[in-house]
Amino acid sequence: MRKVLAWAAVVVLCTVPVFAGSTASAESVTATGRVVVFSTELQELDTWEAPEGCQKLPAAAHVLINETDEVVNTYGDPLCTTPGASVQPGYGTHVAPGTGSFSVGA
């Protein structure tokens, strides 16, 4: 019984920041510049000019490059609720293919 209660506490503590973070990601910031995503050698780069709001990554996304003047936040789901890496302007990061997304701003 103690293990069940301990796991329940862990789930609650881990869930609260996710839901708290989801309200912050709803704020829309418009960036100057673009976000570029490399998927495979057989297709063109995906680009978002002055992105704002939550953007779903392509299914085969592999690398995200931040060419904006704002921080780009990556997420492990298509709705920008599961936090991933924060990418500073001029930097990039690997992203998990499949269901990720990104948003611009804090």
Q: How far is CA 83 from the centre of its chain?
A: 6
Fill in the DSSP letter of residue 1.
-
Are 89 and 42 in contact, with CB atoms under 8 Å apart?
A: no
Domain span holding position 67: 2-104
Residue 9, pLDDT score: 46
Please state the domain count of the chain.
1
Residue 1, pLDDT score: 47
> Under DSSP, is residue 59 helix (H, G, I), strand (E, B) or coil?
coil
- The token pair at 104 is 């611009």
Helix (H) or strand (E) holding 68: strand 63-68
- The token pair at 17 is 């920041």
pTM: 0.71
Mean pLDDT (10-residue bins), the chain, 106 residues: 47 42 51 95 96 96 97 96 96 92 90
